[in-house]
Amino acid sequence: MKIDSHQHFWHYNPIKGAWITDDMKVIRRNFLPPDLEPILKEQNFDGCVAVQADQSENENWFLLNLAKANPWIKGVVGWLDLKAGDLESRLEECQKHDQFKGIRHIIQAEPDGFMTDPEFIKGVSMVGSKGLTYDILTTENQLEEVVGFVKVLPEMKLVLDHISKPDIAASSFDHWATHMKLLAQFEQVHVKLSGMVTEANWDTWKTEDLKPYVDFCLEYFGPQRLMFGSDWPVCLVAGQYDQVVEALKSIFSELSETEQNAIFGETACEFYKL
């Protein structure tokens, strides 16, 4: 299957969507399955993984209901309070739905030390014990903490969203690469080739701006641990869906069909058990 491993749906709310600043006003509206389905069909994708954009349990049911009504939404990555005393029962309730695949927390907005807090790690570990995955959403400045986090979670599937957000617009590379090289040593760590255009200059980015980062991920993680994600509709602040796809295809042009198939779907299918 050809899978977009990372996109979002929402009913726009100016309070919950306060992170959508004035320069991102193009995404200040509702984005729902009828908006995405024709785009996926045009790009020959068989389905997608819907990832939480709001840190509430209501988000889980919103996305799961969309998945139930739209079978091409193959999986849902939701949110739970991973420090909650009743986390296990909450996870089990979510797992009554086959489309529920994993958990994400927006760590990029949290203070230093959040993700290495023993209580948080205990919660993530419980997620793994249930056979679920965990999406790591961090910036490049949090990568040292990510390394510590990963070291104590050797038995579960983890994926770095948006290649951990290096500052592509500023050509920031060395710090990011040093820590990504360390993370590549952990076989359970996967990487989403997603969210890169919004870390580049929104108005002037070119495929060549993304290539050093993608090539690095290919070299150190390999296609079997990489998965394409559009980050739609957030990507729209910097480019259309087809532009994101074509940029990656261009970079992958010298890869074998088998390698490209892994990145454009097979890795995500295996990781999320789609």
* Average pLDDT rounded to a whole number, residues 2-9: 98
Q: How many domains does the chain have?
A: 1
- In whole angstroms, what is the distance from residue 47 CA to residue 7 CA? 11
Q: How confident is the model at residue 17 (pLDDT cuts 50, 70, 90)?
A: confident
- In whole angstroms, what is the distance from residue 225 CA to residue 133 CA? 14
Name the amino acid, one letter, at 15. Answer: I
135-168 pLDDT, tens per residue? 999 999 999 999 999 999 988 999 999 999 999 9
pLDDT of residue 16: 87
- In whole angstroms, what is the distance from residue 37 CA to residue 59 CA? 20
The average confidence (pLDDT) of the chain is 97
The CA dihedral of 220, 153, 112, 90, to the nearest 10 degrees, is 120
Domain with 175 in it? 3-272
Q: How many CB atoms lie within 10 A of CB 99?
A: 21
Report the CATH number that the domain containing residue 16 is assigned in CATH. 3.20.20.140
CA dist 55 to 17, 78, 107, Å?
A: 11, 8, 11
Asked whether the predicted pLDDT for residue 216 surpasses 90, the reply is: yes
